[in-house]
Structure 1
Amino acid sequence: MMQCYGKSRVLTPTVVAAAAFALNKNRSLRTQSEEVGALDSWKKLWDTGMTRWHQRDVYWVLQKYGDDYIHKESRVLVPLCGKTVDLAYLTTKAKEVIGVEGVLQAVKEFMQENPNLQMEAVGSRNGFDCFRGEKIWLLCGNFFHFGPAVAGKFDVIWDRAAMVAINPSDREEYVQVLGSVLKPGGVLLLSGYVRPKGDVKSGPPFTLNKDQVLHLFEHQPWVASVECIESVNDAFSNEAWYKRLILRWRFGGVVSEDIWAIHSKAK
């Protein structure tokens, strides 16, 4: 592992008014059928157990950097959370953890595998089915419809394999959602995979390289700084599924990973 790209990029104030990035119900160019189709494709993977992206262990980034950003009073958001064990781990570090997931099967499996969190269905809120447990909420619905009215704002957002899972054409909208729910002075911890040979079309996971990250975040009026805190040359080297020769061939070589800390402006 190694540090990447040198110092963080501190952004100067933008002339774009804050209202320019405010969410509104008509901002999406995607049709309702496209949204349903995208969720259906993920639902099929969960229904058939084809979820090789799921890891049995807490992600190394949280273990190495979590204490630098997350404290006992933090509210943490985990977008497109699946049934990640990171959720349960974060309940031991933060005041409250909210995971948002589009597939109900993933939520059910998380609840079954974490009975100690005593989770139960508690109705719905703003189009999201809600499940509550000890220091944790899981919200099942379309993340592009998420916002402060659903669950307030957050000190930390942990994006591990979320932005790289969605179609790159939807990233600008995804960033708008993140900006709407991150508190002033908060931080987005972002994991970005980079496919071999500059491949930006294949996926998921879709490549999220340095230029793409800077393009997405530097112009945002809520962003104070964008910093790559670590780069890993072979992101999946310790995962059994990736060690199979046929899957390395599928990727066309090793996949690297950049870890970003994106800070929002303080009031």
Structure 2
Amino acid sequence: MSAQANRVMDPSEWEERWQEGRIGFHQLHVHKMLENNIDKVLCGREGVRFFFPLCGKAVDMKWLADKGHSVVGVEISEKAIKQFFEEQKLDYSEELVSDIPGSKVFKSSDGKISLYQCDLYKFSSTIAGQFGGIWDRGSLVAINPCDRQRYATLIMSLMDKDCRYLLDTLHYNPELYKGPPFFVPEEDIENLYGKTCKIQALESVDALTDRQREWGLDYLTEKVHLLTPKAN
């Protein structure tokens, strides 16, 4: 991480990316690593409440809702949230969130999906409780590297005692590309979560495409880990 330690993006930069349509991180289909490992996340549970940090307009949210689960997401861009509901053909309402001045929550008419438009670090368990599942795809790799401990503290505060947290990370040579998405080494995952969570490596794939080659990368490995709270 040392090569990227001082790299800082302001939330307004993410908003600009959405406004300008520079959203190469968005995927049109359900993420394969979520599909491949969903049974390990659910462990036979039904009606799980999932949290999506920095959710964008991920189609994964609709996929989980269609399976009978509920989803709460947080996203800085109102445009991303509205596009999600419109593209998924979901009726929704919007209202102000009194506990987070200047923010809104957008809710599907069936109540299964609630997306908060706010700064992630202003969100907390007092707003929407704790969760039985977390899908972190494009979130830990997107936040500023200097904010990782703050981020991990927030995520752990949102984990219910039976929570199963699926974490997607990227490995590449950080000397070749400044990010985002940022390089997250294994030792960072251990340092951030190892004291409170069991960490299990589930899957690792070669994710290098022409897009990353244009960034100057010669390899890109995508990894997913399953984190579960250690018993007290």
Same fold flag (TM > 0.5): yes
Q: TM-score, normalised by structure 1?
A: 0.77
Which stretch has the larger CA shift, 185-194 or 126-135? 126-135
Amino acid at match of 1:50: R
| Matched residue count | 219
Amino acid at match of 1:112: E
Q: CA deviation at 1:200?
A: 8.9
Aligned-residue CA RMSD (Å): 1.9
Name 2:210's counterpart in structure 1. 243
Q: For the structure 1 residues 200 and 67, does the alpha-carbon distance in structure 2 shift closer, same or farther, using more than 3 Å as the test?
A: farther
The CA distance in 2 between the partners of 1:192 and 1:208, in whole Å, is 6
Name 2:54's counterpart in structure 1. 80
Q: CA deviation at 1:125?
A: 4.1
Q: CA deviation at 1:159?
A: 0.1
Name 2:225's counterpart in structure 1. 260
The CA distance in 2 between the partners of 1:160 and 1:251, in whole Å, is 22
The CA distance in 2 between the partners of 1:108 and 1:73, in whole Å, is 25
Which stretch has the larger CA shift, 62-71 or 176-185? 62-71
Q: Deviations over 1:228-258 (max 9, x none)?
A: 11111x224xxxxx425xx404232121011
Runs of 4+ in 1 over 6 A off after TM superposition: none
**Any stretches of 5+ residues in structure 2 without a counterpart?**
1-7
Q: For the structure 1 residues 251 and 191, does the alpha-carbon distance in structure 2 shift closer, same or farther, using more than 3 Å as the test?
A: farther
CA radius of gyration, larger in: 1
Name 1:202's counterpart in structure 2. 178
Check whether the contact 2:61–2:71 (CA below 8 A) recurs between aligned residues: yes
- The sequence identity of aligned pairs, in percent, is 30
The CA distance in 2 between the partners of 1:64 and 1:45, in whole Å, is 30
Check whether the contact 1:74–1:156 (CA below 8 A) recurs between aligned residues: yes
Q: CA deviation at 1:146?
A: 1.2
- Secondary structure, in 3 states, of the residue corresponding to 2:143? coil
Aligned pairs for 1:106-255 within 5 A: 106-115=80-89, 117-127=90-100, 128-133=103-108, 134=110, 135-196=112-173, 199=175, 202-219=178-195, 222-223=196-197, 225-232=198-205, 234-236=206-208, 242-244=209-211, 247-255=212-220
Q: CA deviation at 1:201?
A: 7.1
**Any stretches of 5+ residues in structure 1 without a counterpart?**
1-34, 237-241
Q: TM-score, normalised by structure 2?
A: 0.88
Name 1:20's counterpart in structure 2. none
The CA distance in 2 between the partners of 1:152 and 1:92, in whole Å, is 22
Amino acid at match of 2:217: G
